[in-house]
Chain A
């Protein structure tokens, strides 16, 4: 929202370092969270599904943005980490009957370990070579999940898992699932926002901007890159686990290279290096095809297409691609920057300066 700094006096360092130093900004945040919590009662069930999917995507996108946006390491293997999280959680829940609050962190942990392994080439190569190495990781993980029955549990590479439960509360309605996802997503966003202000977060940015210079000022480049991979993969693992819990099933087709590319486009469209931007990007990328389909089905008599579903799938690809290109050409810093521009315009409005 539009926050005027005018008339705010900070008297302590704590106040100066607060995540939201302006009183009005704090109010906005509280109101936003309250509105998000109220979504199940405000919106019909269909939009609730959209909101849940956005929440899951946002967690994964925040993670990828820490890696790609903050640390400057391009990853096209985010789907692999989502898959790792999903299958870890699914196997723990289905075989060991692990409760949700054990399976979720475990999913993050296992994904983080895989992330470190995948990140190993980053100690030696960077830029395009690293991007290609992560593609390799994506394909190898896909293959392993598909062919090792111990992980994938049989021919369809599908593991079903019970609905999550927090102690005595079983989470089995759409609204409860949404609130659970929202809670995890809020934690993920807050951790992400603070992460970027921490010593490690600054080290990420230093490595991104100039790795040699970062090395000179005492940042351990190799280790920082691995930490970036670990953190980002942990986020992805949690998102993947949530997704599996949400659908009640983990299936490798949910985690193909296309998913990896979609996550990367969320981060680009949202704004590289911006945590809040990742959330915008996630919402945009998730809702666009759903809304498009909704719209086309509503007006299906007017459009001369045979099958709405396939047409939407194709139109979605074209729209997506054009939007990515359009954003990169005109607004490389994404939706976050666009939103900031709008805010800046209205900050002094109606005065010119």
Chain B
């Protein structure tokens, strides 16, 4: 039982950090209808920026972390201007491929700028694990989970209550109608990308601290898909629930199956889960159902 509980709790914590990455994805999708395949690379880029600022330049975290977020928000804006804006109104496959191209660029550019070796990134957090009910938790994971909860709460509030959030939702719902109401669609896209950049920076900081900073970090981005499919592509709350479920399931499954088959379960179980969800409930737990009739 303790084994199960510890697996479950570690899984839930990891899951909370997954939802942090998924959050950026959902934000972009919600506001622009673009599937951002480069979210993982965005996060990796954020981690590289943070590593350069904190480790190489030795800036204090209180300066380095906000600067990282600003840089990533700027990168989001640039991406919107160069890649997404010309693609407004194009078919889905074009949009997807454009972000795939973007992912390639980031994955090549980051090691070109900062070298291909793994960099360390250590956040000013205590090293000793925290004991919670027989389960040892790394402070980084805990910090990640807390950040995730705070950010998600903030974004949910932003989307539901603020003028900006309502404008973004309007653009997502119908671009033409939004334009007619005087909402600037490029502005909405830019805002969404900038916010997604901030979320990616937060994810990159946490994951970079956990795994070390190199281009393999981008692979965490693929875990976003099971998370968002489970929760529903356009649901901020769904990103959290999906993240927690995926984290818990993969951790528990890995704990029991890995010794039998010799590893790798974590790369595989989330996707199996996702396929089942797609077949049974394609729009996830909280996604908006699109009904088509002849």
Interface residues of A (CB under 8 A from B): 68, 72, 74, 120-121, 124-125, 127-129, 131-133, 135-137, 139-140, 142-143, 146-147, 212, 215-216, 257, 261, 264-265, 268, 272, 310-311, 313-325, 328-329, 332
Interface residues of B (CB under 8 A from A): 35, 82-83, 86-87, 90, 92-94, 96-98, 100-109, 111-112, 116, 222, 225-226, 229, 233, 261-262, 264, 267-268, 271-272, 274-275, 278-279, 282, 292, 294
Is there an interface contact between A316 and B96, defined as CB atoms closer than 8 Å? no
CA distance A319 to B109 in the complex (A): 10
Is there an interface contact between A315 and B264, defined as CB atoms closer than 8 Å? no
Q: Kindly list the 8 A-B residue pairs having the minimum CB-CB distance in the complex, ordered from nearest.
A: A317-B108, A321-B104, A324-B101, A321-B105, A318-B108, A136-B271, A143-B268, A325-B101
Chain B residue nearest to A148 (CB atoms) is: B261
Note all chain A residues with C-beta closer than 8 A to B101: 265, 320-325, 328
The listed residue (B86, B92, B108, B222) touching A139 by CB distance below 8 A is: B222
Chain A residue nearest to B266 (CB atoms) is: A143
The listed residue (B116, B226, B272) touching A314 by CB distance below 8 A is: B116
Note all chain B residues with C-beta closer than 8 A to A215: 294
Interface SS majority for chain B: helix
CA distance A264 to B99 in the complex (A): 13
CA distance A87 to B293 in the complex (A): 42
CA distance A310 to B115 in the complex (A): 10
Is there an interface contact between B112 and A128, defined as CB atoms closer than 8 Å? no
The listed residue (A212, A216, A317) touching B107 by CB distance below 8 A is: A317
CA distance A203 to B97 in the complex (A): 25
CA distance A233 to B222 in the complex (A): 23
Given A74-B93, A257-B222, verify A140-B272 contact (CB < 8 Å): yes
Is there an interface contact between B222 and A135, defined as CB atoms closer than 8 Å? yes
Given A265-B100, A314-B111, verify A325-B278 contact (CB < 8 Å): no
Is there an interface contact between A132 and B225, defined as CB atoms closer than 8 Å? yes
Can you list 19 A-B contacts with CB-CB less than 8 angstroms, sorted by A residue number? A68-B93, A74-B96, A121-B275, A125-B282, A128-B35, A129-B282, A133-B278, A136-B225, A136-B274, A139-B271, A147-B264, A261-B100, A268-B97, A310-B116, A314-B109, A314-B112, A317-B108, A325-B105, A328-B101
